[in-house]
Amino acid sequence: MIRWITDKLGTASYYDYEEIRSTIDAVVIDVRELTDREGNTAGFVMAKIQAALKALRDERNVVVCCDKGISRSNAIVAGVLMASGMSYEDVVGLLVEKVAVSDMNLGLLHDIRSLFGDAQEQDQKAAANILVTGSTGFVGRALVDALRSEYNVFCPHRGELDLTRDLHLLDLYVKKNNIGFIMHLAHPRMRNSVSAMAEAVAMMRNILEVCRLDELGVLYLSGLVVFSGYISDSVLEARSSLEPWPRGTYAETKFLCEELIGLYQKNYGLKATVLRPAALYGRGMDRATFICKFFEAAMQGATIRTHRYRNGPPIFDFLYLDDLIDVIRLALHIRPRVTLNIGTGKGTSTYEIAQAISRISSSGSAVEMIDIDDETYKVIVDPSEARAYLGWEAKTDLETGIKELWEWFSRSVSRYVTWPVEGSYE
């Protein structure tokens, strides 16, 4: 099948075209010799483009063919259109409209673009231009508010840019807005499903590919959940020497994204910072979290119920949202190429949290533990590494954080609902 990009210029699989070439008067440009990635010599590529241009000037139909008619052929068509005077942005827009542009190799397209000097327009990245994914989520909202005074913050929503599939549009967005750095916070909201895992990994890979080709730095927000496979009666301290051991779909997803980053660092020298925050709490947190459920029970004077596993109650290192925003801002300034666990270094059980909420709210709520026939991980952070790399340490103690959150929750409860997000990312 021929996919016509313009009235006289199309692409097809070489083998499909052989079946119908007897019925169509067209010049075939065979580009199967090209590799479907970066590295083709400029002269070889230009020879294919020039052959197509000559046929078009002779008012012939032109069909560019590779094995599948998807990547190499459409990349050469992009070169033909740019040689004819179209801008790179207009070419990508046309290909998005006409073909499955997401299947095209972005590196090959970059090579084509560089032949016409268009790449020079964006070589000088603006350090102040930051793209934030997941800007409507719990962390994203607070982070964007904090960054706007220092940076030009770009926050495309899913309707504008689907990070799971719009690789070429993401690349174009980065070029058009002269983005210098990407902060990747987005994650599918239905986080414990296999489909969420697939979406998250696809997003991560697309972002890394754009960062590689456009030479951007990236900060990824992971989590201590990557250590959730460590099950014991005692509390474990997470430091750089501790290998990740995820347990469960969400944890495995975060681990896979970190592994992708590691591969890009080894293979391409990617400039990346990975932050693994401890258990987050703060203004605007999702109503489905256990802390908000404890608040709701306290407001009604009802019993606050928490869990007790076979190895005891869950113990977390609780990190206040404001402290996380501070450490992200520092990481953005310093941009260390490391993975850092971020927390207070202090462990608190959910039972102790429930008792604190009962006391702070003056609700008199009883606290009850429900037995769970399973085991849980208990991990806190070694705070010395974040202090060494970033000069950071948490400022908000848990008692203060819970008091501030209770005051906010009490004022907001009449209108408190799960925050809306664009698409299905947070």
Phi, psi for 206 (deg, rounded to 5): -65, -45
Query: In this model, does residue 106 exceed pLDDT 90?
Result: no
Q: Dihedral through CA 319, CA 322, CA 327, CA 329, nearest 10?
A: 160
Q: Domains in the chain, start-ordered, CATH in brackets?
A: 3-121 (3.90.190.10), 129-415 (3.40.50.720)
> Percent of the chain scored above 90 by pLDDT?
69
**How sure is the predictor about 287, in pLDDT bands with cuts at 50, 70 and 90?**
confident
d(CA 342, CA 344): 7
Query: In this model, does residue 415 exceed pLDDT 70?
Result: no
Sign of CA dihedral 254, 260, 261, 266: positive
The overall average pLDDT reported for the chain is 89
Judged by DSSP in three states, 372 sits in: coil
∠ CA 81-84-87 to the nearest 5 degrees?
65
**How sure is the predictor about 17, in pLDDT bands with cuts at 50, 70 and 90?**
confident
Identify any residues that bridge with 275 across adjacent strands, giving them in sequence order.
221, 340
Sign of CA dihedral 420, 199, 225, 326: negative
pTM assigned to the model:
0.84
∠ CA 292-281-161 to the nearest 5 degrees?
100
Q: What are the C-alpha distances in Å from 142 to residues 251, 274, 317? A: 24, 19, 21
The angle that helices 106-114 and 167-176 make with each other, rounded to 10 degrees, is 40
Query: In this model, does residue 416 exceed pLDDT 60?
Result: no
Average pLDDT, integer, range 249-263: 97
Query: In this model, does residue 124 exceed pLDDT 80?
Result: no
